[in-house]
A and B are shown apart, each in its own frame.
Chain A
């Protein structure tokens, strides 16, 4: 009996080398028909700059073509005071404001989009969130082992000091830029609700935003509305944790735009929001 037991043990041990755990395979699946909805993406900021709004049309998820840019719409941002800021088409669905302007903290704005077929898309008037200052940006670092290198490498990451206003419900978004280019992976959508730190230092753990020596590190600290937070939170969960046991059920991500008048069965994807930005830039040395 000892011989087969020993033999089996050796065979099993060798099979352990071939273990495959957590396997991902790209598969082809027949999907329901696409709905081809208009998508709006736009953030109006409180910094005096050329503002943008992006207009595209969704397509089938497994379509081999990228989403279609909509080039022939008329877009304007309108203040409740009546002041309007027209936008003009630039490229790849992006419309730029005709002149630089900043969202005024005292004012409310809405976007109006007129499609070439006469339909109008509109948001409600939105308030500009109160700006919370980024008090200090400095650089942290940690050592990381790279299997291809003998010595560990040093990874630099942003550390921030900012204080949340007390007794006010705030929502924040962090955006990071390396040498002028934003981090755009799904995991880089970094949002916070001040429920857990109201009136205190704002927590930040940005080790996943790695920089190398010599990189220019820019951090934008944005105050956003509760609606924008909810939108980004749901959007983030839909593109980062679906399919895992900790993931939630897939869901539509309701935005804040609508057809005026409404059209049965049609909705607008995307979000138009206003952010108050405080930013800082350092060079990693």
Chain B
């Protein structure tokens, strides 16, 4: 078409379609080999230097893109060329740039936050599709510094776990009950990670607040179903709480004081842009007396707690970053005059993030986690000190290799050496003569896993699949009892096996396949499906309605097989975006099959029991449900509505038959909404409303009299429910002025929060108990017990400078 052959060949070469070589009178055509290059980097907050997790890196005009990982790292491999790249995150102003890609690029990008903790700035409509783009199904994210994460709760406290309870599929039994239940799982089926280490008891103050000081927390991710194969060890969920890293730009202070606690944080650069530190503390203020509580469980209790968080990090170059973080928590609960209980979590974590090449990223961590409790009873005779502890020494190495476009291989290994002291009981006075020393055999086990996963995108479909092979090896010294039958309940010991120090007792192994599919129907809609198998080798042994800090943990052994859960989920995720508003909608159904669930025989004695297996019944369970979540992220009114319809059951032997019985924490309907309305530049109002079906209760059929005591006799287990729970909380937030009278900007910012918990003074039933009427002896009466019977007002003051 008017072009000479030479011109045509030059054009094709320029357009990188063909290359050519002339050999005398021959022209040899050579297909142009398009080269691939990788863009990688770590995305940071421009004000604090904190890594930004879950931000989108989009290649405009294509469907290509990636998301920053849990360490703020991203990597995407593209063909040579010029690309318009957009970096966005719901909390930050997005950033766009044009890159000419003819070599590997390390992208240094910082995003400016749209909001800060002390100032609600209206979030403009953005092109965010966070939940649609997210390839992990059933993932709930709470960003603690955003309005979503700052929901005031009981006594004005902001709390990450209480906030999580407003999300679908996450429940607690009641207000005086520690622990959370995720999709029908028991409280011990949640892997709670603080940075990399495990937290075994995340509760202070009867579970009303968590050990996670909101000053020190950056964000929380809850994986309710599928979790990548790098995670494992618990059957129901992964709750990953990440501490802030420390501001590497400037020294800053923040804190607050309320009725329950005072807290503070100092953070700043050790060397600007290179290294930083963070120290945060929290102290309960009241040494709280609950003498007015009618519950015998809390009567005459005095409670206090402390938290200390530290973190150091340094980035000597773009390829390496080192972190050292720690947490020290302490609780004390004085019961009556002579008994004191103390417990606490302690963790120390070292992490090294390393970039071997633009494609290969690693994160290697060493950590120590310790949870212990101590109970002192100093009344003689019989005064004693009881102890129990669990100590983990852990190692994990995670690698991520990105190749070609949208192809990522993850692989790695992790190992935790558990050392558990199930219980020791020693005389309070070593010279006393009424208490024997009882020290149950320490349990030692090495829980390890190897994993491999592949994250790949084909067109509109993203596939995450892989497997995890987990093992547990238990070691001596230890005595193992053999019983008359394989099920040791109500049978006699026939032999005892003795294992020497370090001798292998038993080994267990489980292959855990994982699969998640994210099919994006269009930019605003996706369908996600997943399957995940999780094996759990460590168990909380507790037969009380709500777990207590003094409950013990136990490793899998000959009589307690690994707990296995298989979970299937299917969900629809859709965003609705108008000119001013962005709504996120998601709905999921799930089914969970639980094998080797632990139940307890009637009257099980679990305290300092060296034959604890004789008290346990191993059975199977199941849980299934529907979850709906609608969130509004922008505009003056923000917040979310959450609903779940669910059922959790366990097979238990009852009346000479085995049948499915509702779990104690089952709630058929669970609805919650959290709304925030910006009244002016400095005043905002928020509300939480919660409604859920009452938990199951076992009602008595008969009464009989034994030694002048009226005794209830119970029918089928969990044969009814207590009345439904509902509660409204309101709060008002007043921001201090941002400028001085002369117009200069204030260095310090502050705000007040006024909250009213349980606004309409609902006496929400916590439980029933059954007693003989004092007025009419011989007649039984049913008593509804409520933790709160009135509104609970509170005020907190918070500051930052």
How far is it, in angstroms, between the C-alpha of A185 and the C-alpha of B296 when the chains are bound?
Answer: 15
- Bits for B435-478, please: 1 = Cβ < 8 Å to A, else 0: 11010000000000000000000000000000000000000000
B712 lies within 8 A of A61 (CB)? yes
How far is it, in angstroms, between the C-alpha of A201 and the C-alpha of B427 when the chains are bound?
Answer: 12
Question: How near does chain B come to A50, taking the closest CB pair, in angstroms?
Answer: 17
A235 at the interface (CB under 8 A from B): yes
- Bits for A134-162, please: 1 = Cβ < 8 Å to B, else 0: 00000000000000000000000000000
A235 lies within 8 A of B720 (CB)? no
B785 at the interface (CB under 8 A from A): yes
- Chain B residue with the shortest CB-CB distance to A254: B602
A133 at the interface (CB under 8 A from B): no
B548 lies within 8 A of A243 (CB)? no
How far is it, in angstroms, between the C-alpha of A245 and the C-alpha of B780 when the chains are bound?
Answer: 22
Residues 396-434 (chain B) with a chain A CB within 8 angstroms: 425, 433-434
How far is it, in angstroms, between the C-alpha of A8 and the C-alpha of B733 when the chains are bound?
Answer: 12
Which one, A184, A195, A196, contacts B707 given CB within 8 A?
Answer: A184
A197 lies within 8 A of B782 (CB)? no
B708 lies within 8 A of A184 (CB)? yes
Question: How near does chain A come to B731, taking the closest CB pair, in angstroms?
Answer: 11
- Chain B residue with the shortest CB-CB distance to A31: B699
A56 lies within 8 A of B705 (CB)? yes
A59 lies within 8 A of B698 (CB)? no
B664 lies within 8 A of A58 (CB)? no
With a CB–CB cut-off of 8 A, which chain A residues contact B708?
182, 184
- Bits for A242-282, please: 1 = Cβ < 8 Å to B, else 0: 11111111111110000000000000011100000000000
With a CB–CB cut-off of 8 A, which chain A residues contact B716?
32
A15 lies within 8 A of B706 (CB)? no
A58 lies within 8 A of B176 (CB)? no
With a CB–CB cut-off of 8 A, which chain A residues contact B173?
245
B703 at the interface (CB under 8 A from A): yes
A237 at the interface (CB under 8 A from B): yes
B795 at the interface (CB under 8 A from A): yes
Which one, A9, A204, A233, A244, contacts B297 given CB within 8 A?
Answer: A244
B787 lies within 8 A of A34 (CB)? no
Question: How near does chain A come to B277, taking the closest CB pair, in angstroms?
Answer: 34
Which one, A12, A13, A233, A247, contacts B545 given CB within 8 A?
Answer: A247
How far is it, in angstroms, between the C-alpha of A240 and the C-alpha of B299 when the chains are bound?
Answer: 14
Question: How near does chain A come to B379, taking the closest CB pair, in angstroms?
Answer: 5
A16 at the interface (CB under 8 A from B): yes
A15 lies within 8 A of B295 (CB)? no
A35 at the interface (CB under 8 A from B): yes
How far is it, in angstroms, between the C-alpha of A252 and the C-alpha of B732 when the chains are bound?
Answer: 50
Question: How near does chain A come to B681, taking the closest CB pair, in angstroms?
Answer: 12
B784 at the interface (CB under 8 A from A): yes
Question: How near does chain B come to A241, taking the closest CB pair, in angstroms?
Answer: 7
With a CB–CB cut-off of 8 A, which chain B residues contact A54?
705
Residues 744-801 (chain B) with a chain A CB within 8 angstroms: 752, 754, 756, 761, 763, 766-771, 773, 776, 778-795
A25 lies within 8 A of B702 (CB)? no
B702 lies within 8 A of A60 (CB)? yes
Q: Which of B297, B543, B546, B709 has the most CB of A within 10 A?
A: B709
- Bits for A174-192, please: 1 = Cβ < 8 Å to B, else 0: 0000000010111001000
With a CB–CB cut-off of 8 A, which chain A residues contact B435?
196-197, 200, 203
Which one, A12, A182, A270, contacts B704 given CB within 8 A?
Answer: A270
How far is it, in angstroms, between the C-alpha of A244 and the C-alpha of B546 when the chains are bound?
Answer: 9
With a CB–CB cut-off of 8 A, which chain B residues contact A252?
602, 713-714
B719 lies within 8 A of A32 (CB)? yes
Residues 1-47 (chain A) with a chain B CB within 8 angstroms: 1, 4-5, 8-9, 11-13, 15-16, 18-29, 31-37, 39, 41
A205 at the interface (CB under 8 A from B): yes
With a CB–CB cut-off of 8 A, which chain B residues contact A205?
338, 379, 382
How far is it, in angstroms, between the C-alpha of A241 and the C-alpha of B790 when the chains are bound?
Answer: 24
A251 lies within 8 A of B714 (CB)? yes
Question: How near does chain A come to B742, taking the closest CB pair, in angstroms?
Answer: 18
How far is it, in angstroms, between the C-alpha of A31 and the C-alpha of B338 when the chains are bound?
Answer: 40
Which one, A8, A12, A253, contacts B713 given CB within 8 A?
Answer: A253
Question: How near does chain A come to B608, taking the closest CB pair, in angstroms?
Answer: 7
A37 lies within 8 A of B767 (CB)? no
B293 at the interface (CB under 8 A from A): yes
How far is it, in angstroms, between the C-alpha of A9 and the C-alpha of B767 when the chains are bound?
Answer: 33
Residues 194-211 (chain B) with a chain A CB within 8 angstroms: 206
How far is it, in angstroms, between the C-alpha of A18 and the C-alpha of B372 when the chains are bound?
Answer: 38
B558 at the interface (CB under 8 A from A): no
B544 lies within 8 A of A245 (CB)? yes
Kindly specify which of A63-71, A103-111, A116-124 makes contact with the partner chain.
A63-71
- Chain A residue with the shortest CB-CB distance to B773: A26
B292 at the interface (CB under 8 A from A): yes
How far is it, in angstroms, between the C-alpha of A59 and the C-alpha of B704 when the chains are bound?
Answer: 7
B177 lies within 8 A of A28 (CB)? no
B603 at the interface (CB under 8 A from A): yes
- Chain A residue with the shortest CB-CB distance to B794: A12
Question: How near does chain B come to A161, taking the closest CB pair, in angstroms?
Answer: 9
How far is it, in angstroms, between the C-alpha of A246 and the C-alpha of B382 when the chains are bound?
Answer: 22
A248 lies within 8 A of B608 (CB)? no
- Bits for B174-195, please: 1 = Cβ < 8 Å to A, else 0: 1011100000000000000000
Which one, B290, B296, B425, B701, contacts A60 given CB within 8 A?
Answer: B701
B637 at the interface (CB under 8 A from A): no
Question: How near does chain B come to A28, taking the closest CB pair, in angstroms?
Answer: 7
A35 lies within 8 A of B206 (CB)? no
A115 at the interface (CB under 8 A from B): no
B752 lies within 8 A of A5 (CB)? yes
B434 lies within 8 A of A32 (CB)? no
A230 at the interface (CB under 8 A from B): yes
B792 lies within 8 A of A19 (CB)? yes
- Asked whether A23 and B700 contact (CB < 8 A) given A250-B717, A269-B713, the answer is no
How far is it, in angstroms, between the C-alpha of A119 and the C-alpha of B795 when the chains are bound?
Answer: 68
How far is it, in angstroms, between the C-alpha of A184 and the C-alpha of B782 when the chains are bound?
Answer: 20
- Asked whether A4 and B734 contact (CB < 8 A) given A204-B381, A235-B711, A248-B545, the answer is yes
Which one, B290, B769, B794, contacts A21 given CB within 8 A?
Answer: B290
- Chain B residue with the shortest CB-CB distance to A9: B795
- Chain B residue with the shortest CB-CB distance to A33: B701
- Chain A residue with the shortest CB-CB distance to B768: A243
- Asked whether A21 and B788 contact (CB < 8 A) given A41-B707, A238-B712, the answer is yes
- Asked whether A1 and B664 contact (CB < 8 A) given A203-B381, A242-B769, A244-B297, the answer is no
With a CB–CB cut-off of 8 A, which chain B residues contact A41?
705-707
Question: How near does chain A come to B544, taking the closest CB pair, in angstroms?
Answer: 5
A20 lies within 8 A of B790 (CB)? yes
B715 at the interface (CB under 8 A from A): yes
- Asked whether A27 and B702 contact (CB < 8 A) given A1-B682, A8-B795, the answer is no
- Chain A residue with the shortest CB-CB distance to B791: A15
Which one, A29, A34, A199, contacts B782 given CB within 8 A?
Answer: A29
B629 at the interface (CB under 8 A from A): no
B294 at the interface (CB under 8 A from A): yes
A22 lies within 8 A of B544 (CB)? no
With a CB–CB cut-off of 8 A, which chain A residues contact B604?
248
Which one, B545, B702, B720, B752, contacts A37 given CB within 8 A?
Answer: B702
A202 at the interface (CB under 8 A from B): yes
B783 lies within 8 A of A59 (CB)? no
Q: Told that A60-B701, A60-B702, A240-B296 touch, could you supply 9 new A-B pairs with CB distance under 8 A?
A: A20-B763, A37-B704, A58-B713, A196-B425, A196-B608, A200-B435, A202-B434, A243-B767, A248-B603
Q: Top 8 nearest A-B pairs by Cβ distance?
A: A203-B382, A243-B769, A23-B789, A20-B789, A66-B778, A22-B294, A22-B293, A12-B793
A-B contact pairs, 18 of them (CB 8 A): A9-B795, A15-B756, A20-B763, A21-B294, A21-B789, A24-B786, A34-B701, A35-B701, A35-B713, A39-B704, A39-B706, A60-B702, A65-B778, A66-B705, A66-B779, A67-B778, A196-B438, A230-B603
List residues of chain B with CB under 8 Å of any chain A CB. 173-174, 176-178, 206, 290, 292-299, 338, 379, 381-382, 384, 425, 433-436, 438, 543-546, 548, 600, 602-605, 608, 664, 682, 698-717, 719-720, 732, 734, 736-737, 752, 754, 756, 761, 763, 766-771, 773, 776, 778-795
